[in-house]
Copies of this chain bind each other. A is one copy, B any other.
Amino acid sequence: MKQFRIAIINITGYIGGEVARLLYSHPGVQIVSVTGRSEAGKKLGKVMPHLSDIDLTIEAEPGEADLVFSSLPHKASADTIAPLARRGVRVVDLSADFRLKDAAEYPRWYDFTHPEPELLPKAVYGLTELRRSEVASASLVANPGCYPTSAILALAPAFKAGLVYPDVVIDSKSGVSGAGRTPSLGTHYAEANESVSAYALGGHRHIPEIVQELGAFHQGGPVSVTFLPHLVPMTRGILSSCYARLVEGRITSGQQGIDELRHLYQKFYKDEPFVKVVETPPQTKQTWGSNLCLLYPTIDLRTNKLIVISCIDNLVKGGAGQAIQNMNLMLEFPETMGLQALPVYP
């Protein structure tokens, strides 16, 4: 098999490292170049010991490659990958820089004026299951945020079927690795352990993504999204609990309605290798280290509310795994290649 050459920009964070870990088992590619400015010149295995079987030295700038993953912070990512994209290098960007279609959202949510607004329409929002054909033909893929991945997959079937009013509450619980690898008081072990907290109560940056993408499934009018993220004392995993009021008459009342709902979700995702509609409420551990998204849709019959539980590994389906899923489409590999390992349990 021909092996494509892959570069990973900013491998020294958790997402960049996870891209490398997963690609190591991918038969169709070879990692040829990895960057990380503050660690440039060091052997990869010195900085990320679990990657010591990948015999590379960290560089300041990426070398020649057929496809580049960027896990730089927002703004820096756009600055770095725009020249690559213009030269025709295929790019999967794991930052937020090409997720939003409206350039005006960047100053509002990310505090910067987008430096490359003309690239925004060319970028494809890479929530693979929902934009498969666009991803396959894209040269610049904006990989979704971890929370939006869990929430949009949970609600898309209900929105598309018009089951719910476009006013949702999404209460998400994330492991601490979602905060990245830079130490801070909030992610200091003794502070984060044995504690749960809500954060970003003034509005989290993942909100506009969710609004934009759910809006694509909703006929008529804007979508109201109340999204609140929480930090829970674990390393990996996101569980999103999604709540919306059912539109009257769209689904049978009582237990039969729950069955219909489940069938609707199963049908929506029936050919998807990574999205499973499960029969019992899932736990994040069942996705650990894998690219799975587990969905459990149900109805609170007392209050007539749709509830959907969604579980992912924030670093895999919520990051590196979905990025590789997108790469597979872009490079015409089978979509599951390199992503078939089962979840690690317990």
Contacts and interface: CB of A to CB of B under 8 A. Distances in A.
A256 interface: no
B184 A183 contact: yes
A283 interface: yes
A118 interface: no
A342 B51 CA distance: 7
A340 B341 CA distance: 11
Nearest to A255: B202
Interface in A1-25: 14, 17, 21, 24-25
Contacts of A241: 171, 198, 228, 230
Interface string A280-324: 011111101100000010101011010101010000000000000
A192 B345 CA distance: 11
Contacts of A206: none
A225 interface: yes
Number of copies: 4
B50 A194 contact: no
A174 B189 CA distance: 13
B234 A195 contact: yes
In order of increasing CB-CB distance, the 10 nearest A-B pairs are A195-B285, A197-B283, A183-B183, A190-B346, A50-B345, A171-B171, A176-B189, A50-B343, A177-B190, A189-B192
21 contacts: A49-B278, A50-B342, A52-B276, A171-B241, A177-B190, A181-B188, A183-B183, A187-B188, A188-B189, A191-B346, A194-B237, A196-B239, A196-B311, A197-B283, A224-B302, A226-B305, A228-B241, A228-B307, A232-B232, A233-B233, A289-B289
